[in-house]
């Protein structure tokens, strides 16, 4: 069972989830997908008091199988309620239905990345499926679903052949950034 302090510490290190009912962290396989209506954004670091406050506010309203989630992106903390989807197809369907940009694979769900990680929803791009790495299946994510929105320098260099010199206001951008913008716009429109 994760205490509020332990939960906040894990969230500040990257991310954490715990069952509202038991306080235990979820185990893979499975993909955590946020459900709309409870998202909160604050400045980092996340505190034990914030973790307790979120739990107090939402535990009674959350579905019985729901988890409290929090993660750090840049200097911001994001908190939500999420549900573990057991399969990639279920996660993709829930992510798109809930207008979510991404979910988190707990590990063991994606045969191309057994350790888990972020899975970005709604990035299907016709035309690139001739490369097997860009084809998603019921047991494997596509390269596009695994691409981080802001790649590190090495990843940017490795993916330059995909970006084909794309620019935004004169600055080179990656295909990841294009996908991130599409997902953000889709989420803002509620598509």
List pLDDT tens digits, range 105-159. 999 999 999 999 999 998 776 666 667 777 889 999 987 788 777 666 666 666 6
Place of tokens 């979910």: 103
* Averaged pLDDT of the chain: 87
Q: For the residues 89-97, what does the mean pLDDT come to?
A: 95
Name the strand (E) or helix (H) holding 154: helix 153-158
Give the separation between CA 144 and CA 105, rounded to whole angstroms.
15
pLDDT confidence of residue 152: 64
pLDDT confidence of residue 145: 85
Q: Tell me the DSSP string of 6-57.
A: HHHHHHHHTEEEEETTT-PPP-SS-EEEEEEEEEEEEESSP-HHHHHHHHHH
Q: How far is CA 102 from CA 41, 82, 85, in A?
A: 16, 12, 13
pLDDT of 191 above 60 = no
Could you state, in order of their start, the residue ranges of all structural domains in the chain? 4-146
Written as six digits, the tokens of 137 are 């299946």
pTM: 0.79
Higher pLDDT, 148 or 21: 21
62 Cβ contact partners less than 8 Å away, ≥ 6 residues apart: 20, 38, 68, 81
Higher pLDDT, 142 or 181: 142
């Amino acid at each position: 069972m994760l205490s509020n302090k332990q939960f906040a510490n894990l969230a500040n290190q990257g991310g954490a989830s715990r069952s509202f009912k038991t306080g235990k962290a979820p185990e893979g396989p499975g993909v955590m997908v946020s459900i709309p209506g409870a998202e909160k954004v604050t400045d980092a670091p996340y505190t034990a008091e914030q973790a307790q406050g979120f739990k107090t506010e939402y535990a009674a309203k959350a579905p019985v199988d729901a988890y409290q989630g929090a993660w750090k992106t840049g200097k911001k903390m994001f908190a939500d309620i999420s549900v573990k989807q057991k399969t990639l197809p279920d996660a993709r369907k829930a992510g798109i239905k809930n207008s979510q940009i991404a979910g988190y694979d707990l590990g063991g769900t994606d045969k191309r990345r057994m350790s888990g990680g972020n899975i970005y929803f709604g990035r299907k791009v016709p035309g690139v499926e001739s490369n097997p790495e860009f084809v998603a299946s019921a047991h494997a994510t596509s390269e596009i679903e695994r691409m981080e929105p802001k790649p590190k320098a090495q990843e940017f260099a490795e993916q330059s052949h995909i970006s084909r010199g794309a620019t935004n206001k004169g600055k080179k951008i990656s295909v990841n950034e294009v996908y991130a913008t599409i997902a953000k716009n889709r989420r803002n429109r509620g598509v």
